[in-house]
Amino acid sequence: MATNFQEYYLPVEGLDSEQDSLILDKALSRISGVESHRVELNNQRVFLHAAHQETLQEAIRVIRELGYRVPVVKQTFPVLEMSCAACAVSVESMLKSQPGVLGAAVNYASGNVAVEYVPGAIQPEGMRHVVRSIGYDLVLDENRESGDTLEDLQRARYLKLRRKTIWALLLSLPVVVIGMFFMDMHDGQPGIPYANEIMWLLSTPVVFWLGRDFFIHAWKQARHGTAGMDTLVALSTGVAWLFSAFNTLFPHFWTNRGLHAHVYFEAAAVIIAFILLGKLLEEKAKGNTSSAIRKLMGLQPKTVTLVDADGQLREIPVGQVEPGQILLVKPGEKIAVDGTVTGGNTYVDESMLSGEPVPVLKQEDDPVFAGTINQKGSIRFRADKVGHETMLAKIIKMVQDAQGSKAPVQKLVDRIAGIFVPVVIGIALTAFGAWNLLGGDNGFTQGLLALITVLVIACPCALGLATPTAIMVGVGKGAEKGILIKDAESLELSRKVNAVILDKTGTLTVGKPEVTDAWWAEDYPALKQILFSIEKQSEHPLAEAVVNHLNDMEVLTVDHFESLTGQGVQAELKGERYLVGNRRLMQAHGVVIDPALAEMAGQWGSEAKTVVWFSGGEKVLALLAIADQIKDTSARAVESLQKSGIEVYMLTGDNETTAAAIARQAGIRHFRAEVLPEQKAAFVRELQSQGKTVAMAGDGINDSAALAQADVSIAMGKGSDIAMEVAKMTIISSELGKIPEAIRLSAATVRTIRENLFWAFIYNLIGIPIAAGILYPFTGFMLNPMIAGAAMALSSVSVVSNSLRLKWKK
């Protein structure tokens, strides 16, 4: 058989010289399956004439190993017309088979597919063409730009489904009434004339017009060797309708053999009606699972008030805001982009981002974030980050990615869904054959009934929805509480955590030194003004804490200022010499230290506070204690974790005394002091080697290696971008109390997944044998196909409803 070679253009970054071209040319010529190739130095790309998808991937691997970069795009597209988990598997497998697609993951509950592809080898239009060929559709950005937003498309689809469902129910109702009450002789009274013909007339539009999508999708899937729920519905209703039409036209075929010519028009019509109703309820419920995203998207206003260079105010769309522009926010308005306050002060409600209910005071130079709500004051602020760069946009992206990611258990479910439909068809045919062999005179009719009922009752949808709906609700619930979860795997793993490592600075503590205690020899404002003026000159972080403590004062002229490394500063004001620093500085300059002051300083030091001495002449004028204070919620969070059976460890680069004091205040039994960044990662590995599932919480660049090593990594939201990039979870408010909340959320989500999978499996394990007629020899019971259709519809709705219970759990 001739090999089907395809042409690809791969963009390659880093092609700078003829030497690069020769290196690539030689490497590509060695790859099996590449018929021809060409390195285009000027266009920064490589042309390949390759045989298989694997050949392309091998070429990309080789190019990357040589140190060049092949740009890969990760993009999420909405998928329309999927009706079950098997549909999701079909879309995923078709996309994965396309040249240039390196990976694809379909989330049936959210209706999205995340695709990783090489832009030079395939474009989104090509992917859409492939997806359409098997009966589904891919929504590209161009649709949204033309005004057809995803929400509009989903709304239109929902309304169309609702219209179909209403018509199907209206047309099916008289068919059911005739089929159940007016077909044969009852109490000596004949049924209505032309009953079969009336039912045929009413059921035909239900099956072939309102249910036509099932047949269209089933045919497109069959052409590509796949099968899904559409296949089951099309086969069951098609067989029931054809059998009934034959019996209506040729009843003598059965009556001449002494058998009754049964018709099942009511079963065919009601199955379509119930499945459409189930789909309608499912769509409604699935919409509720993504309410968190809609809430987040609704936080950004559509327009903003721009302050022109000449001070004039004008309203512009939020999409036109550029960094550096000054915006005005009035009381009650939402803040549109991230920025820094330049004028005014107010309280801002940040609860929708942080989960904390108390409004935050915003003054000049304070940061403000898109999506938060201004309270009573008016402020002006400079736009710093706009569009996709705002914290709100990043949160929305992170939540969308997490809701679309697959939990490890979902991979097993996908494999089951992939073979589910063929297995069900096999069971249905086996039941039909067994009834024909063993069922006696009515064997064919009963067998046909069993075949239809098995096809109808089998529900891959419930299996497909079990995991992703719970993940979507769990991730959304976390986002509402200020806990951002990066992927489903970390959400599933968090419940197993039995060791939590906490960085001290910024995680357990506030992360900003501040004055906690002060003693003054004399309460003279002039002395405070002198200290304020000296510390204003210093660049030391502790000096900043003193300046903030003393608040805005008039700065006096400092005649002489000298920084004494490791000790403090020396300054002169109006001919007087002043010292600000540690005790060694005082002793070196002969300052007399009272024993009571020495005792006070010693006490503060034992509480992990840094003592600053202020003297004039040879007399101590003031003593200040500065500390990075422990957060109000840290001790409660540690206690909550320990009560859950989780061991808590603290790591810090600080000295042993400070570490011991902070650990004591927080109630932490295990800590390590003077730890370097690489030692933090080594400590994580040490705990993992003891069989522990380790969570690491940190906020700095120095924590990033340990965060990457941990099983579950948690970044505190007010920390560095690198820590947030590496971590699998981010606590926006930086409150440690959110960590036990995240672990409880993980446990509740996994419990919901297990409940969903249990009911989905049990439903199919019990329902399919009963539908096949396994109870008939013992009880004479045969399941009616109409009841099977209702059960099938309700199974999906019940799974989604169970997931939605997570929203109301505390």
Catalytic residues: 503
DSSP annotation string for 429-476: HHHHHHHHHHSGGGHHHHHHHHHHHHHHH--HHHHHHHHHHHHHHHHH
CA gap 2, 147 in Å, rounded: 46
Q: Return the bridge partners of 338, or none.
A: 385
Tokens of 493: 């793993």
The number of C-alpha atoms within 13 Å of 181 and in the hemisphere containing its C-beta is: 6
Other C-beta atoms within 10 Å of 611: how many? 18
Calculate the CA dihedral of residues 677, 681, 684, 688 and round it to 10 degrees.
Answer: -170
Tokens of 541: 């972080």
Distances (CA, A) of 427 to 227, 464, 770, 773: 15, 20, 12, 11
CA gap 244, 255 in Å, rounded: 14
CA gap 402, 138 in Å, rounded: 20
CA gap 155, 158 in Å, rounded: 5
Distances (CA, A) of 126 to 40, 117, 129, 131: 24, 11, 5, 9
Which DSSP letter does residue 555 get? P
CA gap 516, 16 in Å, rounded: 59
Q: Is the Cα dihedral 269, 154, 422, 761 positive or negative?
A: negative
Are 275 and 233 in contact by the 8 Å Cβ rule? The answer is yes
Distances (CA, A) of 627 to 27, 97, 140, 305, 737: 60, 59, 54, 41, 22
- Alpha carbon 612 to its chain centroid, in Å, reads 47
Are 561 and 579 in contact by the 8 Å Cβ rule? The answer is no
Tokens of 233: 């519905």
Other C-beta atoms within 10 Å of 612: how many? 26
Are 60 and 118 in contact by the 8 Å Cβ rule? The answer is yes
Q: What are phi and psi of 190, to 5 degrees?
A: -75, 155
Q: Which residues contact 218 (CB under 8 A, 6 or more apart)?
A: 227, 228, 230, 231, 233, 234, 235
**According to the 3-state scheme, what is the secondary structure of 102-148?**
EEEEEECCCCEEEEEECCCCCCHHHHHHHHHHCCCEECCHHHHHCCC
Strands annotated E in 720-789: 729-731
Are 272 and 232 in contact by the 8 Å Cβ rule? The answer is no
As a whole number of Å, the end-to-end CA separation of the chain is 62
CA gap 648, 255 in Å, rounded: 80
